[in-house]
Structure formats: C-alpha cells, structure tokens
Amino acid sequence: MGLTNTTNLVYYAFLLATCIALFDVAICRRLSEDIGNSENEIGDETSNEVGVAVPLPRTNSFVKIIKAPYGILNKKGGERIELECEAIGSPPPLMQWLMGNKVLTENEAFETNLINSISSQGRALTKTRLIINKALSVHEGVFTCVAEAGEKVASATITLRIVKTPDQHKNFSRLLTESILGQRTQPRIVYFYTTLLDFMGNDIALPCKVNGSPQPEVFWTDANKNVISRDTKSRVSVLPDGELRIRSLRWEDMGPYTCVAQNSEGDDSITTFLYPMALGK
C-alpha cells in the first residue's frame, strides 16, 4: 500500500472515530462522500503522487474521552501504577490528571488551552498517562482525567485503593524513602498526540512530555527517520521542552513523526501521524 492510500486510511479512520464518538452529521456525511469518491482510486499507487489535501468541514469545538480507566482499581503497596486516558477533540484536547481537586500534571494552563503559545484549529487524538512508580497509602483516592477543547470539557474518574500486604509495614520506610528521594526510572512518554489533523498554513506543535530519572533526553525523527534539528530558526525544529514545532504547515509535512526519550535506564517512543488539511466550507 502506497503512502497516499495509507494517509487516506488515517484520514478516514479519524473521521470515523469522530463520527462514532459524537454522531456529528457533517463529519459522517463527509466520511460517506470521501469513501465513495475514493473507491476508484484505491489500488492506484501513482494517481496521487503529489497529493491533494482533503478539505476538513468546519465544526464547533468538541471533546470526548474515548479511553479511560473506570471504577475501582486495587493495587498492592510498592506496585507500579500507570493510568492511561485518551480523548478526541477540536481544538486538540488539553489533558490533565487530578487527585481530588489537586492538579497532578502540568500540561499547560486550562485558561489558555495553548501548547507553547501555539493555538491549533485542527483535531487530534490526545493521550495522557499518569505514572506512580511506587504505590503508597497516600496514593489512595479518586483520580480524574480531564480533557478540555475550547469551551468543552469531558472527564473520567477512577478510585485507587492500596491493598495492604503482610510485609507492608517492613517495606514502608524503604518505599517512602524511594518516593521522597527519587529513584532511577526509565523514560515514559506521558503526554502526546497519536493523530493530528490541522490546516495548512498554521503553525503547530506536537507535544512529547516525558517522565524519568535521570532526566531523559528527547529527540524527534521524521517519516524518513532523519533526526530533526533543534535550531529554532528552522521551519521544523524541536523546542527545548521537547515539543516539535512546524511553522506554516504544508502538504509535504504529512506523515509519521516519532518522539524518542532516552536516559541511562532505557528509552521510550511514540509516533504522531500528522495530516495537513485544506480548510472546508
């Protein structure tokens, strides 16, 4: 399957996810029309070598959490816990984790809904992870994943219970010391887009926030596995906080971008698929 067909499938899959999540009539109609119009093009690897951006219909802001932990989660003291939450929305959802009313993550401020001062008009699948390397009794409580897109907000809640074990009191001091003083942990990327559709001509930023000790080094590669420059004067560059910035989005920017985080304990990576769009009516 050629690159054009692959990217078309990404586009259709994203529209289908939006249609199912929100039953958006405009999106469902666009999906039906595009699939119908593409039937004669599937299998023709040379018909769209240059590529034409598919218009994205205008919609109001929306957000929906499509994957999240729910109910009650029981974990033993000392266990590693990873909670994962994914949302779809426009503009790209900003996501945070809360314990009770306390914000645990720093994925920018809800008040601005900006990522590194670059406001997006597109749509994205955003994923966030909450990591607890060593569960303690103080971690018991209600955790909430919150997703915000424009004026829309969605949330999902899970209750974490720490199950006591016979030797928990013996290990408590060691676990508490490790939690306070920190421990060496391999990188884990905890905030990123899996897919972003945005309009050509816009400036965009692909987040890649990472946890790990010692502090991981972050770099990005493009669809051709080339490492992307940190020269902020370049149109495409990696910012000091690990985000990938692309100025004046072009059709040729389309494709998968991979963020890699490394430290002495290991590495982690994620891939964001970027699809430039023409502005619909």
Q: For 197-213, b where at least 16 C-beta lie within 10 A, e where not — what string?
A: bbbeebbbbbbbbbbbe
Strand partners, 268: 261
202: pLDDT strictly greater than 50: yes
Strands 81-90 and 62-67: antiparallel
pLDDT band at 278 (very low <50, low <70, confident <90, very high): confident
The percentage of the chain sitting over the pLDDT mark of 90, rounded to a whole number, equals: 52
Contact between 276 and 253 (Cβ < 8 Å): yes
Q: Tell which residue, 138, 135, 117, has the closest CA to residue 204.
A: 117
Total residues found in the chain within this entry = 281
10: pLDDT strictly greater than 70: no
ω before 240 within 30° of 0 (cis)?
A: no
Q: Which of 52-61, 190-199, 247-256 has the lowest mean pLDDT?
A: 52-61
Contact between 220 and 271 (Cβ < 8 Å): no
- pLDDT of 158-170, one tens digit each? 999 998 876 655 5
pLDDT mean over 239-254? 94
| 181 compared with 202, residue with greater pLDDT | 202
How much is the pLDDT for 35?
43
134: pLDDT strictly greater than 80: yes
| 50 compared with 237, residue with greater pLDDT | 237
185: pLDDT strictly greater than 70: yes
How much is the pLDDT for 59?
59
Strands 266-279 and 55-56: parallel
- This prediction has a pTM of 0.77
How much is the pLDDT for 113?
34
The percentage of the chain sitting over the pLDDT mark of 70, rounded to a whole number, equals: 67
| 55 compared with 183, residue with greater pLDDT | 183
201: pLDDT strictly greater than 60: yes
What is the dihedral sign for C-alpha 39, 44, 46, 49? positive
199: pLDDT strictly greater than 80: yes
How much is the pLDDT for 133?
87
- pLDDT of 84-128, one tens digit each? 999 999 999 999 999 998 988 765 433 333 334 455 678 999 999
How much is the pLDDT for 262?
97
> How many Cβ atoms are within 10 Å of 156's Cβ, its own excluded?
19
- H helices of the chain, in order, are 3-22, 25-38, 168-181
Question: What is the overall mean pLDDT for the chain?
Answer: 79
pLDDT mean over 70-91? 92
> How many Cβ atoms are within 10 Å of 55's Cβ, its own excluded?
14
* Secondary structure class of 177 (helix, strand, coil): helix
Please measure the distance between the N-terminal and C-terminal CA atoms of the chain and give it in whole angstroms.
31
pLDDT mean over 38-45? 40
Q: What is the CB-side half-sphere exposure of residue 17 using CA atoms within 13 A? A: 24
27: pLDDT strictly greater than 80: no
Contact between 206 and 274 (Cβ < 8 Å): yes
220: pLDDT strictly greater than 90: yes
